[in-house]
Amino acid sequence: FSLQAIQDNFVPHKKEDFIYTYGTAGFRSIADVLDSVMYKVGILATLRSKKLGGATIGVMITASHNPEQDNGVKLVDPRGEMLEQSWEAYATKLANSKTPETLAQATEEIIASQKINVDQPANVIYGFDTRPSCPELVKNLESGLQASGAETKNYGLLTTPMLHYLVRCLNTAGTSDAYGEPTAEGYYHKLAEAYKTAVKGFTRLSTLHVDCANGVGAPKLREFLTHLSEDVISVDISNDQITTQGALNKNCGADYVKTNQRAPPNVKIQPGDRFCSFDGDADRIVYYYLGSDQTFRLLDGDKIAGLAAMFIMDLVNDAGIDSLKVGVVQTAYANGSSTNYLEKVLKIPVSCVSTGVKHLHHEAEKYDVGVYFEANGHGTVLFSPSALNTIKTTEAKTPAQNRALQQLAALTELINQTVGDAISDMLLVETILTNRQWSPEEWDQAYTDLPNRLAKVVVADRSVFTTTNAERQLVSPAGLQAEIDAIVAKYSQGRSFVRASGTEDAVRVYAEAATRAETDELTYKVAQAVY
Ligand code: NG1
Ligand code: ZN
């Protein structure tokens, strides 16, 4: 490890005045300004690995659902989780170092404050999505890794959740909680075997139509499907144009569908069929279908959480292990009807946390079985070590109990324990629908979403919008929350909140109410109050 090498290979900033922030989505921006950031991320990944005694750290290059000209980068901690929050400030500090000297200084500061022994080994793996800017950004990342002396492995084109899986596998290999074979093949095999077990004995459903957002999910889902025969699952893939310039996330994908509350224009949605959309890096998924009245119906992250929670509660009861505490974690963006369904109908505890997967993930770890989903379709289910142990060691007294325990065991393998995963979540939904022999309409019957609206207001300085109570109330600007409360009080089943986006330079306004007209009016009034 040599600070000299870090200085000698310095990659300069392309735009002098650009300020970088490591936020909920890592670094994310227009790809053109990211060369220098990639170099620094290489150094940071090395430091993080050295700090953790040479544990493998992951680096994923992607900008998820953002347009093709954007890109981004995120670090993955040893258990496949997001980078520990306290390190985000280091990332930001390194990224904004504009000269070799200031970078060396910032590096030294991290080493000193974290008491890092630089003689420790460093291991870093990385992967990237289909964006045209990836190859160049990978080169800059590699320079940073090399300059700081890490052992590296390039896993190539990957979905984000596959990289998280690989990191966890590498760090648990040979231990009692070994997570799986650290290869793409190992990932496919694990999911495919679990799915076969989970749907065994049930009639296969009709074909599922999957929109892959013209992203990395398309080739990866195809590879995965070679591990399952047509009589186990039938999938029709669309929007798989990963080499067509400008196609990524364009008028398709999970974010398009959730935001516009409509199917991608090029997806021919037929009554009776089942559809889902991945986002650009395949860590989000939403389902949808055409109702018998020909209207578009969205089954978003909230609906998936409700379905999963319902199924898991039933299995836990049938398995006779209802001492396990099952809970659901949502954000303020969850539809009020979904929260009501979980709390009043399923009688499951629900926690509300701030936006951002790391908050949901950590809260979900507090339950034995923690289901977490953002309304936009990012989520998963976490099983605690004691839940895994209970599922594994409980002795069944009846065939029904035995079957429930086996199903739960299959779910623990099927569901990605590191992060939201479109392929894994798709298999979870398909498992439940197959077990129940349900159509999407039947799934949708659990509750009816309140009409809702998400608006964006561009303000001079979004940092003045600070919140409390899991972002549901504003602390500043002074007086604004009282104004919003007064507006909301006029609408039946009205709810609205305002917060600064962590990923865009804007303030978001969310509103829901009993009717579409009331919702639109409420959104408008609150947005006006913000402006
Ligand atoms: P911001 O921009 O902070 O609202 C958005 C999404 C989050 C999450 C992050 C990270 C909404 C309302 N917000 O955050 O759910 O996915 O991006 O990508 O969808
Ligand atoms: Zn994504």
Spot the catalytic one: 64, 143, 148, 354: 64
Distance from Cα 350 to the centre of ligand 1, integer Å:
20
For the residues 37-51, what does the mean pLDDT come to? 98
pLDDT the model gives residue 119? 97
Q: Please write the tens of the pLDDT for every residue from 436-448.
A: 999 999 999 999 9
Of 322, 316, 308, the closest CA to residue 364 belongs to: 308
Show me where the domains of the chain are located. 3-157, 187-298, 301-420+438-444, 452-530
Ligand nearest to the CA of 375: 1
- Please identify, by atom number, the ligand 1 atom nearest to the C-alpha of residue 65: 18
Can you name the CATH fold of 301-420+438-444? Alpha-D-Glucose-1,6-Bisphosphate; Chain A, domain 3 (3.40.120)
Does ligand 1 come within 6 angstroms of the Cβ of 247? no
For the residues 54-67, what does the mean pLDDT come to? 98
- What are residue 508's DSSP bridge partners? 456, 499
Whether residue 450 contacts residue 336, with contact meaning beta carbons closer than 8 Å, is answered with yes
Does ligand 1 come within 6 angstroms of the Cβ of 467? no
Distance from Cα 25 to the centre of ligand 1, integer Å:
8
pLDDT the model gives residue 107? 98
- Please identify, by atom number, the ligand 1 atom nearest to the C-alpha of residue 500: 3
User: How many Å apart are CA 357 and CA 355, to the nearest integer?
Assistant: 7
Ligand nearest to the CA of 254: 2
Does ligand 1 come within 6 angstroms of the Cβ of 286? no
Ligand nearest to the CA of 277: 2
User: How many Å apart are CA 215 and CA 247, to the nearest integer?
Assistant: 9
The pick from 376, 458, 509, 510 for probing ligand 1's pocket by mutation, whose C-beta has the most ligand atoms within 8 angstroms, reads 376
For the residues 36-46, what does the mean pLDDT come to? 98
pLDDT the model gives residue 132? 98
Q: Is 24 a residue whose pLDDT tops 90?
A: no
Q: What mean pLDDT value characterizes the chain? A: 97
The C-alpha angle with vertex 16 and arms to 13 and 20, in degrees rounded to 5, equals 70
User: How many Å apart are CA 501 and CA 420, to the nearest integer?
Assistant: 20
Class of domain 452-530: alpha beta
Which residue puts its alpha carbon closest to atom 13 of ligand 1? 355
Which residue puts its alpha carbon closest to atom 18 of ligand 1? 25
May I ask the CATH architecture of the domain 187-298?
A: 3-Layer(aba) Sandwich (3.40)
- Please identify, by atom number, the ligand 1 atom nearest to the C-alpha of residue 284: 16
Q: How many CB atoms lie within 10 A of CB 379?
A: 30
Could you give the dihedral angle defined by the CA atoms of residues 236, 242, 244 and 249, in that order, rounded to the nearest 10 degrees? 80
Share of the chain above pLDDT 90, in %: 98
Class of domain 3-157: alpha beta
Q: Please write the tens of the pLDDT for every residue from 450-504.
A: 999 999 999 999 999 999 999 999 999 999 999 999 999 999 999 999 999 988 8
Whether residue 150 contacts residue 123, with contact meaning beta carbons closer than 8 Å, is answered with yes
Whether residue 302 contacts residue 373, with contact meaning beta carbons closer than 8 Å, is answered with yes
Angle formed by the axes of helices 88-95 and 35-51, nearest 10°: 140
- Please identify, by atom number, the ligand 1 atom nearest to the C-alpha of residue 374: 15
Is 64 noted as a catalytic residue in this protein? yes
Which residue puts its alpha carbon closest to atom 4 of ligand 1? 501
Does ligand 1 come within 6 angstroms of the Cβ of 355? yes
Does ligand 1 come within 6 angstroms of the Cβ of 360? no
Does ligand 1 come within 6 angstroms of the Cβ of 209? no
Q: Please write the tens of the pLDDT for every residue from 116-130.
A: 999 999 999 999 999
Ligand nearest to the CA of 161: 2
Of 531, 528, 519, 529, the closest CA to residue 261 belongs to: 519
Examine domains 3-157 and 187-298 and report if their fold is the same. yes
pLDDT the model gives residue 16? 84
The pick from 373, 501, 504 for probing ligand 1's pocket by mutation, whose C-beta has the most ligand atoms within 8 angstroms, reads 501
